[in-house]
A = this chain, B = another copy of it.
Amino acid sequence: MGHGDEDTGCGGGWAPQPTLSQRLFAVAELARADFAVAVGRHGLTPVQARAVLMLDEAVPMSSVASHLACDASNVTGLADRLEALGVAERVPSSDRRVKLLRLTDRGSALRGELGRELAQGSAVTDRLTADERTQLAALLDKMLATPDA
């Protein structure tokens, strides 16, 4: 290997001082795992849960795709699974090309539960004090500020 890793500071591993990005990614993994476990308790996968959480009202399947940042073709199977679970259903639209996805009563109840649980904070953020959480929120908001748009 011609040379290697010196700019990362460590002589071959990530050991001593992880970079900010590495730590951010590690926290992201924890948050993801937390989310997966939380929604898994309700029988949903993370993607299914994200769909349920966005379904405030009946929404075109194409909107679901763009919200999930995935190709529209995926939403067909996703909708199939949500229908099989009894939490959502397809309903026709005025534009007859469009199908709307809407939560069933059971889906709405589930969405409420999920919302309450997730709002309570994860095991990750629980390790911070109230002040620190405020600080963190400000930093996250800055990172989330849309650079374009």
Interface residues of A (CB under 8 A from B): 1-9, 12-14, 19-33, 35, 53, 56-57, 69, 105, 108-109, 111-112, 115-116, 118-122, 124-125, 127-128, 130, 132-133, 135-137, 139-145, 147
Count of identical protomers in the assembly: 2
| Min C-beta distance of A21 to chain B, whole Å | 5
The 7 closest A-B pairs by CB, nearest first: A28-B28, A1-B108, A8-B115, A4-B120, A4-B119, A23-B140, A13-B56
Majority secondary structure of chain A interface residues (helix, strand, loop or mixed): helix
| Min C-beta distance of A38 to chain B, whole Å | 10
User: Which of chain B's residues have a CB closer than 8 A to the CB of A19?
Assistant: 118-119, 121
